[in-house]
């Protein structure tokens, strides 16, 4: 609703205005009559959002109490709460508003009905098992046998490679597949939340979660990701995404749990129609999570049932496999960047990603004791285990025919699945010397050659013939050449336009992309469209149709993230 419907409604008012003005010209209506007509329609349908910029009279329109009750929307005058900002506070923030929002009558959503009841129990017993939270299939608890830091300490991002031992399990995969890691919330953040909720002493107590009797919510049921009976700490650690960005419905519910009048007004603004841009700027775009919100509004003390009703499921995190079972039997490797969330005005402390931060902390002893490089055969034993489950990819695999050429584009950790591709291809070449193998291209990029060139093993693949062409670029390295080399993979690809067109069109090869969608994959797609247009002497629209056909034929494949 907040991402799609609200912007659509914004456009609706302009369209209505133009339609009414056109009607006025046809029927000779005065502008005042137009405003009256619109005003009347709003009062007869109070569920419609009340914001038309036709005139100051309509712009300041507000519902009376009866209309507000019938629609579930609330209208509040600024005079109800004295929230006059100091003269120095001229800029809005998460906790502070400025005119016109601070002077507006607010139209806020209806209060969502409560439907969950939480009962504390004196009984003890075994906690729920992680496997009970996963509906996607079988989970496997496997040990971490190796951890390697692929980037230098002074690199902007920290990239880690972990190796898992799956030899004692039925876990099977192909290069290009993904798998999911079941991760917990940060333990200190869970304790912090318990303290804010006033439940520090009850974290290990068992609770029973069930549907509240007499709830007005239609079709109410206990969320599937919440065990009927478990400890409170288990729910907050493994079940709820406490780092979730609160939606407007949650903010509306939090209003009722906030005692300070100023804080209550600001929460009302953030969930209101009038405060939509503030919500987008200070909550959604700033990645303000539920914990950040509780720090910003200290008088907000939500109940446990509200958290269960509004916080989403703590999702398992997906990672691309970076190995081959042929090359490393019984092993599964994957690569990730440790996500860093710096402190900002809305976030008082810096944080790491939920899963990547947990994994980095988990393998820290291995990192300090195991300074091996990527191609070293030695292993370190580890008692640390993580729970995983497969997420097969039905299309992002090597061509079934090894003689078919293919191109891979994977900057940064986007190279991860292609390491598995190349390991697999190397073993196939060793085992089947009579097979014909097509060309294999790899376009790889990173910031600095000496800090985060993640896989220097690529050179080995090139030297033994597994990889035919390796094209690299480094976006942050300075160059002394007269003509500066390209900094990004999409620019490198353009240098090989004829080869790209030949592989895709004449030889019916494959094109793989892995990495960030917005900042890389879309740019690569644009480059391929330009190449097809230029090499085929076709217009851009025709080139886009050809690319769409390649996608349909599963020869232009992406494994991307936002």
Residue 232, domain member (yes or no) = no
Phi, psi of 307 (to 5 degrees): -60, -45
Residue 157, domain member (yes or no) = no
**Tokens (6 digits) for 218:** 């239609």
- SS3 string, 91-119, reads CCCCCCCCCCHHHCCEEECCCCCCCEEEE
Residue 515 belongs to domain with CATH number:
3.40.50.80
Q: How far apart are CA 524 and CA 560, in angstroms?
A: 12
Residue 557, domain member (yes or no) = yes
Residue 109, domain member (yes or no) = no
pLDDT score recorded for residue 179: 96
pLDDT score recorded for residue 21: 73
- Per-10-residue mean pLDDT, the chain, length 562: 61 72 63 47 39 37 39 41 48 94 95 96 74 74 94 88 96 96 97 95 94 94 93 96 97 98 98 97 94 96 97 96 97 96 88 97 84 43 85 91 98 94 98 97 85 74 96 80 80 97 98 92 96 96 97 97 79
For tokens 């339609």, what's the residue? 19
- Per the structure, the complete domain to which residue 455 belongs is given by 406-561
Among the listed residues 369, 396, 372, the one whose alpha carbon sits nearest the alpha carbon of residue 513? 396
pLDDT score recorded for residue 24: 66
Q: How far apart are CA 306 and CA 115, in angstroms?
A: 9
CA distance readout (Å), 92 to 85, 87, 97, 98, 273: 10, 12, 5, 6, 17
pLDDT score recorded for residue 375: 42
Q: Is the peptide bond before 100 cis (omega within 30 degrees of 0)?
A: yes
Q: What angle do CA 56, 58, 61 make, to 5 degrees?
A: 110
What is the total count of domains within the chain? Answer: 1
Cβ within 8 Å of residue 526, ≥6 positions away: 490
* 487 strand-pairing partners: none
**Tokens (6 digits) for 526:** 């644009």
Task: With beta carbons less than 8 A apart as the criterion, state whether 258 and 251 touch.
Answer: no
Q: Which residues of 281-313 are buried (b: 16+ CB within 10 A; e: fewer)?
A: ebbeebebbbbbbbbbbeebebebebbbbbbee
Task: With beta carbons less than 8 A apart as the criterion, state whether 254 and 293 touch.
Answer: yes
Q: What angle do CA 115, 126, 229 make, to 5 degrees?
A: 10
pLDDT score recorded for residue 368: 75
Cβ within 8 Å of residue 430, ≥6 positions away: none
- The number of C-alpha atoms within 13 Å of 193 and in the hemisphere containing its C-beta is 26
Among the listed residues 4, 42, 5, the one whose alpha carbon sits nearest the alpha carbon of residue 16? 42
Residue 352, domain member (yes or no) = no
Among the listed residues 408, 379, 453, the one whose alpha carbon sits nearest the alpha carbon of residue 556? 408
Residue 127, domain member (yes or no) = no
Residue 501, domain member (yes or no) = yes
Task: With beta carbons less than 8 A apart as the criterion, state whether 165 and 408 touch.
Answer: no
**Tokens (6 digits) for 402:** 């090894």
Q: Would the pTM count as exceeding 0.75?
A: yes
Residue 537, domain member (yes or no) = yes
Chain centroid to Cα 238, Å, comes to 18
Chain centroid to Cα 478, Å, comes to 32
């Amino acid at each position: 609703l907040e991402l799609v419907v609200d912007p659509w409604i914004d456009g609706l008012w302009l369209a209505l205005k133009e339609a009414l003005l056109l009607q006025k010209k046809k029927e000779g209506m005065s502008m005042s009559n137009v405003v009256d007509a619109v005003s009347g329609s709003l009062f007869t349908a109070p569920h419609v959002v009340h914001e038309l910029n036709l005139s100051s009279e309509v712009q300041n329109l507000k519902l009376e109490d009866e209309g507000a009750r019938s629609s579930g929307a609330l209208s509040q005058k600024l005079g109800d709460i004295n929230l006059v900002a100091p003269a120095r506070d001229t800029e809005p923030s998460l906790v502070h508003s400025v005119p016109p929002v601070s002077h507006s009558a607010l139209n806020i959503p209806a209060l969502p009905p409560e439907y969950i009841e939480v009962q504390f129990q004196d009984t003890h017993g075994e906690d729920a098992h992680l496997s009970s939270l996963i509906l996607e299939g079988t989970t496997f608890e496997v040990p971490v046998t190796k951890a390697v830091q692929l980037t230098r300490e002074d690199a902007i991002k920290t990239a880690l490679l972990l190796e898992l031992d799956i030899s004692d399990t039925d876990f099977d995969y192909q290069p290009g597949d993904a798998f999911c890691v079941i991760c917990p919330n940060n333990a200190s953040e869970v304790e912090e939340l318990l303290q804010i909720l006033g439940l520090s002493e009850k974290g290990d107590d068992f609770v029973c979660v069930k549907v509240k009797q007499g709830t007005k919510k239609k079709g109410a049921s206990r969320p599937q990701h919440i065990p009927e009976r478990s400890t409170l700490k288990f729910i907050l650690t493994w079940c709820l995404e406490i780092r979730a960005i609160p939606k407007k419905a949650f903010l509306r519910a939090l209003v009722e749990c906030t005692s300070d009048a100023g804080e209550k007004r600001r929460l009302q603004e953030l969930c209101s129609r009038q405060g939509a841009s503030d919500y987008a700027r200070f909550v959604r775009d700033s990645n303000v999570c539920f914990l950040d919100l509780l720090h910003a509004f200290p008088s907000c003390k939500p109940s446990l049932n509200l958290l269960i009703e509004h916080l989403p499921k703590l999702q398992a995190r997906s990672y691309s496999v970076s190995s081959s079972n042929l090359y490393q039997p019984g092993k599964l490797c994957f690569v990730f960047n440790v996500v860093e969330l710096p402190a900002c005005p809305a976030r008082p402390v810096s944080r790491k990603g939920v899963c990547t931060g947990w994994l980095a902390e988990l393998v820290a002893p291995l990192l300090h004791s195991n300074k091996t490089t990527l191609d070293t055969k030695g292993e370190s034993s580890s008692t640390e285990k993580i729970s995983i489950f497969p997420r097969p990819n039905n299309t992002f695999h090597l061509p079934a025919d090894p003689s078919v050429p293919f191109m891979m584009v994977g900057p940064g950790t986007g190279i991860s699945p292609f390491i598995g591709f190349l390991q697999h291809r190397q073993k196939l070449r060793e085992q089947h010397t009579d097979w014909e193998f097509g060309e294999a291209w790899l376009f790889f990029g990173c910031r600095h050659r000496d800090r985060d060139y993640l896989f220097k093993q690529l050179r080995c693949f090139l030297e033994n013939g597994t990889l035919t062409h390796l094209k690299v670029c480094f976006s942050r390295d300075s160059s002394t050449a007269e003509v500066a080399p390209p900094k990004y993979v999409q620019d490198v690809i353009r240098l090989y336009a004829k080869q790209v067109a030949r592989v895709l069109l004449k030889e019916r090869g494959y094109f793989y992309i892995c990495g960030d969608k917005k900042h890389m994959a879309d740019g690569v797609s644009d480059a391929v469209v330009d190449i097809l247009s230029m090499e085929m002497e076709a217009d851009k629209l025709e080139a886009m149709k050809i690319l769409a056909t390649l996608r349909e034929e599963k020869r232009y494949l992406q494994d991307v993230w936002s």
